[in-house]
Structure 1
Amino acid sequence: MFGLFRSKPRSKIGKWLDARGISQEWLVSKSKVSRTTISKIASDDKYSPTLPTIKKIMKAIKEVDPAAKPDDFFDM
C-alpha cells in the first residue's frame, strides 16, 4: 500500500515532457539518443550529458518549442 502514490523523480526535461504529454520514446526517436540516456536525463537532475548529446536533445525539443534553450534544462 505504501509507495503507491509516490511520484517518480523528474528532472527539468522530465517535467517538460510530462507537461506536454510527450513520451521519452518520442525523444529517443527524434534525438537518436539511447533510451538509457534519455531515461537518466529525464529522471536525474544531477546527470550531466555531453555537449553532443545536449545538441541532439535540443534539436528535438525545438521541434515542439522553438524558444527552448539549453539553459532551460541543463546546468551549463
Structure 2
Amino acid sequence: MFGLGKKRTKLGKWLDRRGITQSWLAKKSGVNRNTINALAADKDRAPNSRTMAKILKALREVDPGVKSDDFWSM
C-alpha cells in the first residue's frame, strides 16, 4: 500500500489514492525525482511555474480535469 506512515501533501495523497508512483511522475514529467518527493511530502514546498506545468501535464494523462489549485494554493 502506498503512503503508509508518511507525511503527505495534497499531491502525495492524490498519487497514493490512484496508485501512481513518484518515479512514474518523475519520468513522465521530466522533473527530478527528489523534487517530486519533496512536493509529495513537504507541505511548505511549492513548485515554480515551469515545474508545476510539467507535473500537471503528466497528471492530466491520468485525470484531464486536474488543476494546480487541487495541490497548491498560489
Same fold? TM cut 0.5: yes
TM-score normalized by the length of structure 2: 0.92
Q: Counterpart in 2 of 1:3?
A: none
Instruction: Measure, in 2, the Cα distance between the counterparts of 1:53 and 1:26.
Output: 15
Of the two, which has the highest radius of gyration?
Answer: 1
Give the share of equivalent positions with the same residue, in percent.
Answer: 52
CA displacement, residues 39-73 of structure 1 (integer Å, 9 cap, x when unaligned): 00000111011000000000001000001111001
Say if 2:60 is the partner of 1:65. no
Instruction: Measure, in 2, the Cα distance between the counterparts of 1:65 and 1:26.
Output: 15
Q: Counterpart in 1 of 2:18?
A: 20
Instruction: Measure, in 1, the Cα distance between the counterparts of 2:53 and 2:43.
Output: 17
Q: 1:53 aligns with which of 51, 54, 59?
A: 51
Q: Counterpart in 2 of 1:36?
A: 34
Unpaired runs of at least 5, structure 1 = 1-5
TM-score normalized by the length of structure 1: 0.90
Runs of 4+ aligned structure 1 residues displaced above 2 Å come to: none
Unpaired runs of at least 5, structure 2 = none
Aligned Cα RMSD in Å?
1.0
CA displacement, residues 11-63 of structure 1 (integer Å, 9 cap, x when unaligned): 01100000000100000000000011000000011101100000000000100
